[in-house]
Amino acid sequence: MFKQWEEQPMLKPRIDKVVVNLNLGKSGDPLEKASRVLQELTGQTPVKRQAKKTIRDFGLRKGESIACVVTLRKEAAIDFLTKVLPVIENKISLSSFDKQGNFAFGIKEHIEIAGVKYEPDVGIFGMDVCVSVNRPGYRVKTRRKQKSHIGAKHLLTPEESVVFVRQTLGVEIV
85, 87, 89, 90: CA torsion to nearest 10: 0
Cα separation of 70 and 48, whole Å? 9
pTM of the model: 0.87
On whether the CB atoms of residues 171 and 55 are closer than 8 A, the answer is no
Q: Write out the residue range of the structural domain in which residue 57 sits.
A: 2-173
Q: Give the count of domains, the chain.
A: 1
- Which value, in Å, is the radius of gyration of the alpha carbons in the chain? 18
In tens digits, the chain (174 residues) has pLDDT values of 678 888 888 899 999 999 999 988 788 888 899 899 999 899 999 999 888 888 888 888 898 888 999 999 999 999 999 999 999 989 999 999 999 999 999 999 888 888 888 888 888 888 999 999 999 988 898 899 999 998 888 889 999 999 999 998 888 888
Instruction: Please report, for the domain that includes residue 18, its CATH number.
Output: 3.30.1440.10
